[in-house]
Structure 1
Amino acid sequence: MFKIGDKKLINGWAFYDWANSVYSLVISTAVFPLYYTAITEGEKVWFFGIEWEHPDSLYSYALSFSFLIVALISPILSGIADYTGSKKKFMKFFCWMGGLSVMSLYFFDGIDTVWVGIIFTILASIGFWASLVFYNAYLPEVALPEQQDRASAKGFIYGYTGSIILLIINLILIQMPDTFGITAGMASRISFVMVGLWWIGFAQITFKRLPDDIYNKQPDNDYIWKGFHELKVVAKEAMNYPTLKKFLISFFLLSIGVQTIILMAAIFGSSELGLPAMNLIITILLVQIVAIAGAFIFSRFSEKWGNITALKVTIATWMLVCFAAFMLDKNQENVEMYFYGLGVLLGLVQGAIQSLTRSTYSKLLPETEDHATYFSFYDVTEKIAIVLGTFVYGFLYSLTNSMQWSVLCMAIFFLASFIILSTMKKTKYVE
């Protein structure tokens, strides 16, 4: 059994980022969306007896539905997990659910099997995001407050590094299928299986090192009702901490911008700037590589200048990204080079802001045994932000017929987050 603050325990915890981040890069961002578009382009698809003229809308709704499910179930399950001391069991369940669902995307091999792609997209997304609730909740149990910035950053650095390695392997497979005696479509489907195996396989290192129940909970039989009670108690507690409440509001506002831009960046480059798929994948890889350095640099910056100052710098940089994207035009000479430059700027703060928000929230928590329940509020805040952000983005696009105004609007949410963050009082570990 490792003690809190032990280097091996922190490394084991952080290694789950190495395991699961291949999902967010290969499945959510790069390979699967392009594969789905290639299969459904110019086609009408049927799903649950409904004909969809725009398959991209169906895919978007599927992801939104998965976020909604996670937002509904994670507070309840985390309350049960805290009451019964079973965070690791829940984390394992959703890891296996996500990994097996990703591998099942192999059976999505044509327009007649779109239903397979949609159903397992939903299940994989639920598995990924739900497992992160319990993973994040372990941070205050594996690292001391003064270690949490570096530990959180280490997780993101592991995640970006692992996902880059697997994406490059997948791209070699997809770009040179003849070398391996397969078709490009089969190469993509094999990539989905590789993601699932990578995710489940490397997660076992984390599961081996994480403690089972550090508070030795002895739950009664009526643990579901007691789980609901746990949720109610924590919700009431959270409202009594003004600094924590302010941070959650600020986190909600910045997440609207961060998550919407991450999800829509490839579509912006393709639809608004007319960039080919390979340019977009190069940009995605560039963002991941720079994000490794960004997470490391800002973890050190926060140690010297404090979490709040570091977060304000990243938020200001995100606003700059929004203004720069607004200024881009597909008719500009060398527009792809400007887009690459924007990718570098985005990468510098993408990993940094995600890492810093996680560790800052962890430091703001009161003395508690209910870490999973507290982190479920963090997770739900992010999911609702994604739903609102993508809606605002799409609504403005429909009004203006230009994604540039949608991107510019995200700067308003960043500004509001910056202002609220500026009113937060310093605490023992957050300044």
Structure 2
Amino acid sequence: MNRSRRRKQVVKQVFWIGILLGFALAYGCNQRAPINQSRSDLPGIEVPPPEPQPYSTEATLLAVGDIMMHGSQIKSGYNSQIKTYNYDNFFTEVQPILHRGNWVIGNLETTLAGPEAKYTGYPRFNAPAPLADAIKTAGFNILTTANNHSLDRGEKGVLKTLENLRSRGLKPVGTAASLTEAQNILRVEKNQIDMAILAYTYGTNGIPIPQGKDYLVAVIDEAKIIQDIQTARASGADIVTVALHFGSEYQRQPNTQQKTLVKNLVNAGADIILGSHPHVVQPYEIFEQTNTDGTQRKAVAIYSMGNFISNQREKYRDLGVIFKVRLRKNFPEETIEISEVKGIPTWVHRYTAQGRYQFRILPVEAVIGKRDDALLSSQTYDRLETYLDQMNRHLNSLVIAANSKAQVNPENHLNLQYQRDYLKLASS
């Protein structure tokens, strides 16, 4: 029995000695090959760097047409008790839409030259500076100031308007206080997408630009615009947006000069063209371009965005559009594409309160969908439904025409599938 017991003890001892030796050997191996040593440290072995993971970023441009200030609009925001102006109510109903944009652009078709220059509406506009506060609160961050009313208060009016906008964090484009300032192309980056923004006007209502100070207002000169586009491209802009104050007033279709200029600017490298001045909405058009390196590029131009806010009540002049262009940048290639184009029709509602006119901008489709606005009658709702249908068809008219032409001629320069993809103005 004793001999058997001793044999069992020896077996146990041998077993535990084996376990300990195993741990020792494992520890020794680890010491000889440190765990932080990579394969690339070993001679003769090269490990390629990891492939960058693809991803994309998106950003949205929202643009509107003419922000005007007729006499009745100026009066609508005046509080006689505290002697101040406030125009927030103009934009309350569209503010939620505008706040969804990254670049939010409007055409400021009035000066903000101060009370000493007297507040007046048509024909030479000068509005209270609190309008800029309301514009900023609404969600705008960029205003085009090159239009036929830029010089309504002369050089001082241009400079004071720039001062009032910049002091509120708004970026003006199209007018400048110096030559150096005029030569600096506005660049605004959102979500890693770098956009250059340019703005020009056909003229200044016959008011001469002071001699030697052409920089005050950027006037349409095709060669100069093309040069600016190319400069923006060469400096690394992903997208070049050009705002043009041009066309024939109250005409719902672009004229030959508009179409020719737009085509030439798109060929030169413009990606987005935003039209204003006619005071009525004109259609948009989509282009597919072949770059010099053989790559494809999409561009979009809306010839006129109509009146965003004004006291013009004639047919179609109380209608406007919030023009939406969504952009996508793909990495690691860093390619840019237009992923969505959409128009959001708007209507200027003028009504009477406390013995004077009041104004507000309504997003037509959203208002119709709720149908709960106490200030609107059933007849007004019916009229808005008609407006919405007409506006959607009107905005799309050039795209639809291009589709029809492409179906007849398959070699048409417009990409048919691309056009179809973007025929969704009223769908969302």
User: Which TM-score band applies after superposition, normalised by the shorter structure?
Assistant: under 0.3
Pick the structure with greater CA Rg: 2
Q: Decide which structure has greater strand share.
A: 2
> Higher helix fraction: Structure 1 or Structure 2?
1
Q: What TM-score, normalized to structure 1?
A: 0.25
Higher relative contact order (Cα pairs below 8 Å, separated by 6+ residues): 1
